[in-house]
């Protein structure tokens, strides 16, 4: 009974499930009432969700009571065997209005306060939706019709529904919802033409909820018929300054076929013309051939679009063809790599103007611009080249691939053409790069070698240093081969010197003289160092060490000899001696070296002896030139041996005084004697003579020099006439020697001469010093100037002995020999 269905009545349902538990099975779970719904306010249905069934089929029973307060009435409304997972439908019978339903189960209660009844009411969706379009007064309408939802109960047709309709264009998301009311049709206006719409409807009873939306229906709204919009003239362009073309964008035509017409009028003419040629330049364009193209004339161009509904005209376009020239891109582009004189490649670009452009007549003048970039580069380098049709590019990076493009433009106005198609050119790698690589490799290798070398140097250190950087030799006579000296053949030496005849020629003498001069200057420097009192032989040794490298051993005499010579002989001789020492002086102890050299190098000794003999013998007798020559040549190379030999006699002298000081020297001396004996057979007669001298006195060469010294010494102190005579002889000889030598010191000698005798010069120094010092010191100082170690030894060793006796006796002999040499 519809009337009795009171919306305000609260119906309480309790769904009680009787679950028949079978043996061993669990109880069923608690069922849940999902919803109850009334379609038409007369009946309603409830749906529930079964609980867990415990693995068994369950019986569900819906109980309801109509009165929430009185629970007395329990009406089994529906009972059915419900299979698991089935949603049972419990459709009640007709409800009596005044009663409130209440249901509960026997065992467990699931109680649901369902609320007011009307909330349960929800009709089904409307059906039979149909759409139509209608047109009235040039406007489109949408006509929608539908039917109310069908009911199983035919008697319930009288229900009144409210309807809603929603629609949208097919492609859109948002719906537009329209409330329709009670009627089952609707007319929609203000639709867009040509759009397809989608429509749905739904319904609702006077109370309750909206039904679902009905199924979609769609309909296409037909287009409208309108006159076209304005066409738009895009541009006009003349490719060669002779013809031109205009393009336009066609108007929107609303689906109707529209025709376009181009109309133009020229400056100075009233008449309006139509486009002469729509076809040549393609659709939506107009081509003006030469006849229709004027320059320095403004064209007023319009385009009219027309369809059956009407026409529309574009905005006017004013064109002076002079200013709209846009040529085609240049053609015949060639890229050529050439190499300049410096072998650096450069790029020669040539091109031709576009074929349409008549550049030759001068009607059109084109200017060009090219651009290029490395293939992977980002930015173009643009170069304006003016009217020329070629270009040389110099500063290109070798090894890169370049892209080149060219475009052109009329000289004053107009637009740049499109860029020509890309041209590629690969710049070959520069040869210089290869060279650079080579140089880098070389540099790395050399640095590696240097590193290794330095490493070796560090490892071997001292020796390597000595090996790589031998002691710097003193000034040598040009062209002398040290190996020749070592072999000791005087002739070869001489030839090496350029003196082919053994007897020295004038040339050789000159050479020697020059050499000597050089030595002099150095001697002066050396003299003071020597002049400083040297008390021990050790000092001498040091000196020799320091002097090492100087080449000439003129005098075979050793340190003492030098010292004496320094006084007695001209400074040149002294220096030579010093050099001899120097060469002699190795890094080790000099004496030991002497030994070794003596024993091992016999020829050397012989020569050295020769030289020494030469010196000794000839100094007094021979002319200065000769002396100088010998001293330089022979003594020079023989230095080591000579020094050895010289030392030995000196040492001998020492032995006489004290043997303890130079034991080694003694042995050396002995060896020297032997050697000298051995060699004498080979040597020249002069040497033989010398040898004799040597045998007679242990220090034959020394003797003359020593004699000089002694003489000086004596001259100073004793001033005996005999000595003076000898001294004169020596001095005279020395003069001769020195004169060519031109030593400044020697000039001082001349002053000494004033006292009594020429030789006094070296004495002066000695005199001066001894005067101030003690007599003992004087004696020591006499040798002092020329490394007087051995002299000192003399003085110290034989203070008791009368010098005149011991030393004088020794020296006297050589002096006596001297004349014999002559």
Partner 1 sequence: GLLLVALLVSHMLLTKEGVTSLPICPNGPVNCQLSLEELFDRAVKLSHYIHFLSSEMFNEFDERYAQGRGFIAKAVNSCHTASLTTPEDKEQAQQIHHEDLLNLILGVLRSWNDPLIHLASEVQRIKEAPETILWKAVEIEEQNKRLLEGMEKIVGRVHSGEVENEIYTPWDGLPSLQLADEDSRLFAFYNLLHCLRRDSHKIDNYLKLLKCRLIHDNNC
Q: Summarize as ranges the residues that interact with partner 1 (CB under 8 A).
A: 241-242, 267-268, 290, 293-298, 300, 316, 318, 320, 322, 358-363, 365, 367, 384, 386-387, 411-413
Nearest distance in Å: CB 234, partner 1:
18
What Rg, from alpha-carbon coordinates, does the chain have?
69
∠ CA 425-427-431, nearest 5°, is 165
DSSP 3-state of 654: helix
Residue 528 to residues 2, 525, 566, 765, 775, Cα–Cα distance (Å): 154, 6, 11, 11, 21
168 or 241: CB nearest partner 1 = 241
Nearest distance in Å: CB 281, partner 1:
18
H or E segment and range at residue 90: strand 89-91
Q: Residue for token digits 């299979």?
A: 83
At 465, list the tokens. Answer: 């240093």
CB atoms near residue 234 (< 10 Å): 13
241 or 803: CB nearest partner 1 = 241
At 694, list the tokens. Answer: 């040597």
- Distance (Å, rounded) from C-alpha 736 to C-alpha 619? 10
Closest to 616 measured CA to CA, from 699, 559, 684, 682: 699
Nearest distance in Å: CB 384, partner 1:
8
Nearest distance in Å: CB 291, partner 1:
8
- Distance (Å, rounded) from C-alpha 71 to C-alpha 620? 170
- Distance (Å, rounded) from C-alpha 135 to C-alpha 130? 17
- Distance (Å, rounded) from C-alpha 67 to C-alpha 748? 164
- Distance (Å, rounded) from C-alpha 405 to C-alpha 381? 10
172 or 412: CB nearest partner 1 = 412
36 or 321: CB nearest partner 1 = 321
364 or 616: CB nearest partner 1 = 364
93 or 268: CB nearest partner 1 = 268
371 or 674: CB nearest partner 1 = 371
Closest to 712 measured CA to CA, from 744, 774, 757, 646: 757
Nearest distance in Å: CB 370, partner 1:
14
User: What is residue 556's DSSP assignment?
Assistant: -
Nearest distance in Å: CB 417, partner 1:
18
- Distance (Å, rounded) from C-alpha 733 to C-alpha 748? 16
Do residues 427 and 345 touch, judged by C-beta distance below 8 A?
A: yes
Nearest distance in Å: CB 387, partner 1:
8
235 or 500: CB nearest partner 1 = 235
- Distance (Å, rounded) from C-alpha 263 to C-alpha 209? 67
Nearest distance in Å: CB 325, partner 1:
11
Nearest distance in Å: CB 288, partner 1:
11
296 or 462: CB nearest partner 1 = 296
- Distance (Å, rounded) from C-alpha 457 to C-alpha 613? 44
- Distance (Å, rounded) from C-alpha 543 to C-alpha 603? 26
Nearest distance in Å: CB 267, partner 1:
5
362 or 528: CB nearest partner 1 = 362
98 or 290: CB nearest partner 1 = 290
Nearest distance in Å: CB 315, partner 1:
11
Beta strands in 375-438 (DSSP E): 381-386, 390-393, 401-410, 423-426
296 or 394: CB nearest partner 1 = 296
Nearest distance in Å: CB 447, partner 1:
51
Q: Residue for token digits 């010289």?
A: 646
Closest to 410 measured CA to CA, from 371, 357, 360, 361: 357
């Amino acid at each position: 009974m519809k009337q009795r269905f009171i919306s305000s009545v609260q119906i309480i349902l309790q769904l009680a499930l009787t679950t028949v538990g079978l043996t061993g099975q669990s109880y069923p779970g608690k069922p849940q009432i999902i919803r109850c719904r009334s379609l038409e306010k007369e009946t309603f249905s409830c749906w529930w969700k079964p609980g867990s069934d415990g693995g068994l089929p369950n019986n569900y029973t819906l109980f309801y009571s109509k009165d929430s307060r009185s629970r007395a009435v329990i009406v089994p409304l529906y009972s059915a065997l419900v299979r698991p997972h089935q949603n049972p439908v419990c459709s009640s019978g007709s409800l009596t209005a005044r009663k409130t339903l209440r249901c509960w189960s026997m065992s467990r209660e699931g109680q649901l306060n369902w609320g007011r009844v009307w909330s349960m009411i929800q009709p089904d969706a409307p059906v039979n939706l149909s759409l139509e379009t209608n047109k009235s007064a040039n406007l489109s309408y949408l006509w929608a019709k539908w039917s109310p939802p069908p009911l199983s109960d035919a008697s319930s047709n009288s229900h009144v529904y409210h309807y809603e309709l929603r629609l949208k264009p097919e492609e859109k998301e948002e719906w537009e919802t329209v409330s329709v009311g009670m009627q089952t049709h609707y007319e929609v206006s203000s639709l867009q033409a040509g759009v397809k719409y989608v429509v749905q409807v739904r319904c609702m009873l006077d109370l309750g909820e909206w039904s679902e939306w009905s199924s979609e229906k769609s309909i296409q709204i037909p287009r409208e018929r309108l006159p076209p919009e304005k066409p738009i003239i895009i541009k006009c362009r003349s490719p060669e300054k002779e013809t031109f073309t205009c393009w336009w964008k066609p108007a929107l035509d609303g689906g109707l076929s529209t025709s376009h017409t181009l109309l133009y009028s020229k400056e100075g003419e009233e008449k309006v013309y139509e486009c002469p040629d729509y076809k040549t330049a393609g659709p939506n364009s107009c081509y003006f051939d030469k006849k229709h193209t004027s320059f320095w004339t403004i064209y007023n161009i319009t385009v009219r679009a027309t369809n059956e509904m009407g026409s529309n005209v574009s905005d006017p376009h004013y064109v002076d063809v002079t200013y709209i020239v846009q040529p085609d891109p240049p053609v015949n582009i060639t890229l050529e790599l050439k190499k300049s004189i410096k072998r650096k490649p450069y790029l020669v670009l040539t091109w031709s103007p576009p074929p349409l452009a008549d550049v030759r007549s001068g009607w059109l003048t084109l200017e060009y611009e090219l651009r290029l970039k490395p293939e992977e580069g980002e930015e173009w380098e643009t170069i304006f080249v003016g009217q020329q049709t070629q270009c040389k590019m110099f500063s290109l990076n070798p090894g890169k691939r370049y892209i080149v493009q060219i475009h052109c433009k009329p000289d004053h106005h107009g637009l740049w053409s499109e860029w020509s198609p890309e041209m590629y050119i690969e710049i070959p790698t520069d040869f210089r790069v290869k060279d650079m690589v080579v140089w880098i490799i070389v540099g790395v290798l050399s640095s590696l070698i240097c590193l290794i070398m330095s490493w070796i140097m560090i490892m071997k250190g001292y020796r390597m240093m000595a090996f790589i950087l031998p002691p710097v030799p003193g000034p040598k006579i040009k062209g002398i081969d040290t190996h020749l000296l070592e072999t000791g053949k005087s002739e070869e030496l001489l030839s090496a010197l350029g003196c082919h005849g053994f007897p020295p020629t004038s040339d050789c003498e000159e050479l020697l003289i020059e050499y000597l001069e050089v030595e002099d200057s150095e001697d002066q420097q050396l003299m003071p160092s020597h002049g400083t009192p040297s008390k021990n032989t050790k000092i001498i040794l040091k000196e020799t060490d320091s002097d090492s490298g100087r080449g000439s051993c003129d005098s075979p005499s050793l340190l003492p000899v030098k010292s004496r010579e320094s006084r007695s002989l001209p400074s040149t001789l002294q220096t030579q001696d010093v050099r001899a020492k120097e060469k002699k002086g190795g890094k080790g102890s000099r004496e030991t070296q002497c030994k070794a050299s003596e024993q091992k190098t016999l020829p050397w000794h012989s020569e050295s002896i020769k030289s020494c003999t030469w010196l000794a013998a000839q100094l007094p007798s021979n002319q200065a030139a000769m002396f100088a020559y010998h001293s330089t040549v022979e003594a020079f190379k023989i230095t080591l041996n000579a020094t050895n030999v010289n030392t030995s006699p000196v040492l001998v002298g020492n032995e006489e005084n004290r043997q303890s000081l130079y034991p080694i020297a003694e042995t050396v001396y002995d060896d020297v004697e032997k050697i000298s004996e051995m060699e004498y057979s080979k040597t020249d007669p002069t040497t033989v003579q010398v040898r004799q001298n040597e045998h007679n006195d242990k220090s034959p060469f020394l003797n003359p020099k020593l004699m000089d010294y002694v003489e000086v010494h004596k001259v100073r102190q004793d001033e005996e006439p005999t000595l003076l005579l000898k001294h004169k002889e020596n001095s005279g000889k020395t003069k001769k020697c020195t004169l060519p030598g031109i030593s400044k010191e020697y000039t001082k000698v001349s002053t000494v001469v004033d006292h009594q005798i020429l030789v006094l010069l070296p004495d002066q120094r000695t005199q001066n010093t001894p005067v101030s010092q003690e007599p003992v010191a004087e004696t020591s100082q006499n040798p002092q100037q020329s490394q007087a170690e051995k002299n000192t030894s003399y003085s110290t060793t034989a203070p008791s002995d009368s010098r005149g006796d011991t030393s004088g006796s020794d020296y006297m002999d050589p002096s006596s020999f001297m004349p014999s040499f002559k």
